[in-house]
């Protein structure tokens, strides 16, 4: 009876902890969603279920005469998708090289990547700004994309290399005996087996630039070139004068592409993330 009671108590405590964490995570999200439907402009009177709910703030965001939100949304999607594609391509080739080949400087290269991933991008803001200014990439999405891709390569290379190390090298050898070249082995054998880690890298490399504010605020100068984070900050701080409920509506819409991408990659996400960290 004591054992059953102990199990019951442990199970109850576990559910209480999960419920508490669920409430801590979910309440701010529901509150922001409720605020976006609040007809007023202040967040102080907002609630999860607002009275006299209105779509006025969403209509304002999509009205090009009142807001550049659609431009900002398109800019964020363009920068994030471009970053994701370039990162997946470069990281795949780099991780495959480190995983399958032995060459001079391999260990030093991996050590360099390990050190670089410990340094956040904003630690080099001055250098990034000066480099963008000298190369003529200031206030351009290309410069922003290159910075994001460069910042994504070290961590994701280690993550993908760990996953590729778990794929048996006998598959490479068998294909090579059948006459397959290195590139064909990479495309037709390794990459199909590496779909879980590719999905993880793609998700990470999409979310980071989509939600970034610091680097984008340093490099972008023209309002129509702003990404969502910079544009929404400008909306609250300068353009419309503390319209926080409109900001809440814009923030809610930010989650839409991230949620779609996560749900699309969900079946790969857990296996890719766990396997990528098992072997260095």
**Concatenated DSSP letters for 26-95?**
HHHHHHHHHHHT-SSS-STT--SS-TT---HHHHHHT-TTT--HHHHHHHHHHHHHHHHHHHHHHHHHHH
pLDDT values of the chain reduced to their tens digit, one per residue, 280 residues:
577 777 888 888 888 999 998 888 888 888 788 877 877 666 655 566 777 777 888 888 888 788 888 999 999 999 999 999 999 999 999 999 998 888 888 888 888 888 877 777 677 888 889 999 999 999 999 999 999 998 888 889 988 998 888 888 888 888 888 888 888 888 888 888 888 889 889 998 999 899 889 899 999 988 889 999 998 888 777 655 567 778 888 888 888 888 888 888 777 766 555 554 444 4
Same domain, 100 and 226: yes
Same domain, 18 and 131: no
Tell which of 54, 73, 88 closes a domain.
54
Contacts of 113-118 with C-beta under 8 Å, sequence gap 24+, read 113/153, 113/154, 113/155, 113/157, 113/158, 114/154, 114/158, 116/154, 117/154, 117/155, 117/158
Same domain, 97 and 20: no
| pTM higher than the cut 0.95 | no
Dihedral angle sign, alpha carbons of residues 45, 46, 48, 50: positive
Same domain, 31 and 153: no
Task: Tell me which residue range forms the domain holding 184.
Answer: 63-276
Q: How many domains does the chain have?
A: 2
């Amino acid at each position: 009876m004591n054992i059953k009671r102990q199990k019951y108590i442990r199970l109850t405590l576990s559910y209480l902890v999960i419920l508490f964490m669920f409430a801590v995570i979910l309440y701010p999200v529901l509150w922001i969603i409720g605020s976006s439907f609040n007809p007023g402009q202040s967040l102080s009177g907002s609630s999860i279920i607002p009275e006299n709910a209105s779509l006025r703030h969403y209509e304002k965001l999509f009205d090009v005469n009142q807001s550049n939100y659609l431009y900002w949304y398109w800019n964020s999607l363009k920068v994030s998708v471009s970053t994701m594609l370039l990162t997946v391509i470069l990281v795949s080739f780099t991780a495959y090289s480190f995983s399958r080949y032995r060459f001079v400087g391999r260990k030093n290269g991996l050590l360099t990547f390990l050190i670089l991933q410990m340094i956040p991008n904003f630690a080099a803001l001055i250098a990034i700004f000066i480099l963008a200014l000298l190369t003529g990439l200031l206030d351009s999405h290309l410069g922003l994309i290159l910075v994001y891709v460069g910042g994504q390569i070290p961590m994701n290379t280690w993550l993908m290399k760990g996953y590729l190390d778990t794929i048996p090298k006998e598959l490479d050898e068998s294909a090579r005996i059948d006459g397959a070249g290195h590139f064909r082995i990479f495309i037709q054998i390794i990459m199909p087996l590496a779909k879980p880690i590719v999905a993880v890298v793609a998700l990470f490399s999409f979310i980071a630039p989509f939600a970034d504010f610091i680097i984008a605020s340093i490099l972008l100068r023209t309002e129509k070139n702003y990404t969502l984070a910079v544009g929404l900050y400008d909306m609250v701080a300068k353009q419309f004068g503390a319209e926080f409920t409109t900001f809440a509506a814009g923030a809610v819409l930010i989650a839409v592409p991230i949620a779609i991408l996560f749900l699309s990659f969900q079946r790969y996400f857990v296996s890719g993330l766990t396997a990528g960290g098992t072997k260095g």
